Amino acid sequence: MAISVPDYVVDAAKRGLEWHAEGKSGDGVTDKTLREAREMADGSVSEDKVRRMGPWFRRHEADMDAPKNKPGNDGFPGAGAVAWALWGGPTSGDIMRTAEWAERKVEQLDREASANSNNSIYKMTIEEQLLEATAAISGVTAERDDLRATVEKLTVGVASELEALKVEAASKDAKVAELVAALEVAAKEVDSLKQMVASLEATKVSASKEAAKIVASVGVAPVEISPADGKPSAEAVDHMATFLSLPVGSKERNEYFAAHKHAIIKAAI
């Protein structure tokens, strides 16, 4: 959008272009600045240029304090004064006049843009407003449904994992209970064997004396050992005496007890 500029801006731009043609602008002037200066010299400028003019003049205001940028001094116009004119700024009198005009123009453009925006809203029909509101609600509803689905998925997953952990814990508890029961049974068996061994140890005496007691209790006369082989006959074997003569806890004693348990226990009663 082309915006008309005041006469003093036109004059300043023309003056800047003349100084540039005379080689007084230095090396910092861009082609874009020259193109926009020609547009201002013709009486108009773009909205983008107007919005850049106010800040540019504020940044370079101090440059105009240099002696060569002041009219009447040697070296005038300096490169700063030429650039100032190319931007449409007067180099004498109220040098900030163009900057202030540009700032007022920007405020006007902003107000008009805001008014046009509001008018566009007011011009919407009820049906258009309803459609816009419906679309907004649909978007929010979709986001809500997605969030709900995500939460439900996470909840189901956590519940399944928790249930699996509960089942695993119950299985381990049952196994522990089974092991505890087995240990209790084993402990009872160990106590029973200890009591039996203690009872047998309490009756332990020398083999000869115990044999004599057993023989006397059953009324059987001792059998002499045959000189031929030096071994007692089958009737003369005293299982209790033999059992007691074996080392306590040895494999031989345990095997002998297992083989002659009935006779040994009977002898001990």
Q: How many CB atoms lie within 10 A of CB 175?
A: 10
**At CA 176, angle to CA 175 and CA 177, rounded to 5?**
90
72, 106, 122 - which closes a domain: 122
* 24 assigned to some structural domain: yes
Q: Which of 242, 252, 251 is nearest to 200 (CA)?
A: 242
Q: Are 29 and 82 in contact (CB under 8 A)?
A: yes
Which pLDDT band holds residue 132 (cuts at 50, 70, 90)?
confident
Q: pLDDT: is 249 or 97 the higher one?
A: 97
Provide the token pair at 11: 């004059």
Query: Nearest to residue 45, comparing CAs of 15, 5, 16, 79?
Result: 5
What range defines the domain where residue 209 resides?
A: 203-268
Domain count across the chain = 2
Work out the pLDDT band at 38, boundaries 50, 70, 90: very high
**How far lies 96's CA from each of 61, 64, 102, 132, in Å?**
8, 11, 10, 47
The pLDDT, as a whole number, for residue 181 is 81
The pLDDT confidence band at residue 172, using thresholds 50, 70 and 90, is confident
Residue 15 lies in a domain: yes
Query: Euclidean distance between the first and final Cα of the chain, in Å?
Result: 128
CA distance 89 to 16: 9
Q: Which of the two residues, 23 and 225, has the higher pLDDT score?
A: 23
Q: Of 58, 91, 122, which marks where a domain is finished? A: 122
22, 79 contact by CB (below 8 A)? no
Does residue 63 contact residue 69 with C-beta atoms inside 8 Å? yes
Last residue of a domain, one of 122, 143, 169: 122
pTM score: 0.46
